[in-house]
């Protein structure tokens, strides 16, 4: 177990599958802020430009896989095979892994689950999340209210969880909103725990053409909620999972 004094020394790699530099920088900032991390503790890796090397895992205390407004895990994404090898090796080393949105779908897929393209059940904006009974004993979700709001934006969803995965949270339109592999430190969260309301406003304005299907961006922004409960999850992953390894 790490000491409290070592928290500011933790190093994370954030795997990104985004085209736009502004959104890449915004994503890094969001994970640092929501995780209570300082500038420089999160190192970005652009998956679209470079493959990942599993040998580099020794440099990091945890792996974060972010979202992607540009790609589906069902697409032929550049260097995706290297990410598969990277994550499988991370789990074999008992290195904590957190996947958010696209990252959660990727984790489900790489470990044997099934992801489907389902635009009819797309969720964009603030969505109410409800915990399932197993969440009461989970390091991340323990202590959260049974229902809370979270920011989300997705057209794909996890239809079948991998063998051994434990469901933690759902929503009305999407059964798999969060899952883990018990005792592993590997978490998939379909919603965006790293995004506060103001972050979601920025994402909506940027990705409105691909996600809003003709809806007014101002109308969707008007429905956004504050999501303080969801916003503590990245920090809890750092404190309750990474720090305890």
User: What is residue 211's predicted lDDT score, i.e. its pLDDT?
Assistant: 77
Query: In angstroms, rounded to a whole number, what is the distance separating the alpha carbons of residues 131 and 142?
Result: 10
Residue among 47, 106, 228, 157 nearest 97 (CA): 106
State how far the alpha carbon of 163 is from the alpha carbons of 25, 87, 109, in Å. 35, 16, 11
Q: How many percent of the chain have pLDDT more than 90?
A: 89
Does the structure show a pLDDT above 70 at 178?
A: yes
State how far the alpha carbon of 108 is from the alpha carbons of 85, 147, 159, 234, 235, in Å. 14, 23, 9, 19, 22
CATH of the domain at 107: 3.40.50.880
Question: What's the pLDDT tens digit per position in 106-134?
Answer: 999 999 999 999 988 889 999 999 999 99
- What is the domain count for the chain? 1
Question: What's the pLDDT tens digit per position in 18-30?
Answer: 988 999 999 999 9
The mean per-residue pLDDT over the stretch 59-63 comes to 98
Question: What's the pLDDT tens digit per position in 40-55?
Answer: 999 999 999 999 999 9
pTM for the full model?
Answer: 0.96
Helix axes 21-34, 197-211, angle to 10 degrees: 150
Domain residue limits at 35: 4-242
Q: Cβ(173)–Cβ(150) under 8 Å?
A: no
Query: In angstroms, rounded to a whole number, what is the distance separating the alpha carbons of residues 179 and 165?
Result: 6
- Tokens linked to 67: 């979202």
User: Predicted confidence band at 4 (pLDDT cuts at 50, 70, 90)?
Assistant: low
Query: In angstroms, rounded to a whole number, what is the distance separating the alpha carbons of residues 217 and 207?
Result: 10
Cα 166 to its chain centre, rounded Å, is 16
Per-residue DSSP letters for the chain? Answer: ---GGGGGG--EEEEE--S-HHHHHHHHHHHHHHTT--TTSEEEEETTT----GGGGGG-SEEEE---SS--TTS--TTHHHHHHHHHHHHHTT--EEEETHHHHHHHHHTT-EEEE-GGG-EEEEEEEEE-GGGGG-TTTTTS-SEEEEEEEESEEEEEPPTT-EEEEE-SS-S-SEEEETTTTEEEESSBTT--HHHHHHHHHHHHHHHSTT--HHHHHHT----TTGGGHHHHIIIIIITT-
């Amino acid at each position: 177990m790490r000491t409290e004094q070592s928290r500011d020394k933790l190093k994370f790699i954030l795997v990104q599958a985004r085209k736009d530099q502004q959104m890449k920088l915004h994503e890094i900032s969001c994970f640092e802020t929501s995780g209570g991390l300082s500038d420089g503790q999160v190192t970005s890796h652009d998956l679209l430009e470079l493959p990942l090397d599993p040998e580099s895992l020794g440099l990091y205390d945890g792996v974060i896989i972010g979202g992607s407004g540009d790609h589906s895990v069902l697409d032929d994404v550049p260097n995706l095979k290297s990410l598969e090898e990277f994550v499988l090796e991370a789990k074999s080393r008992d290195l904590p892994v957190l996947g958010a949105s696209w990252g959660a779908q990727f984790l489900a897929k790489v470990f044997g689950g099934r992801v489907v393209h389902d635009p009819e059940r797309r969720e964009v904006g603030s969505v109410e999340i409800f915990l399932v009974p197993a969440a009461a004993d989970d390091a991340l979700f323990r202590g959260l209210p049974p229902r809370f709001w979270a920011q989300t934006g997705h057209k794909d969803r996890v239809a079948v969880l991998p063998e051994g995965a434990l469901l933690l949270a759902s929503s009305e339109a999407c059964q798999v909103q969060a899952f883990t592999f018990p005792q592993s430190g590997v978490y998939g969260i379909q919603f965006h725990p790293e995004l506060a309301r103001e972050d979601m406003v920025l994402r909506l304005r940027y990705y409105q053409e691909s996600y809003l299907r003709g809806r007014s961006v101002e109308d969707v922004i008007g429905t956004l909620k504050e999501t303080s409960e969801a916003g503590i999850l990245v920090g809890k992953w750092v404190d309750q999972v990474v720090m305890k390894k």
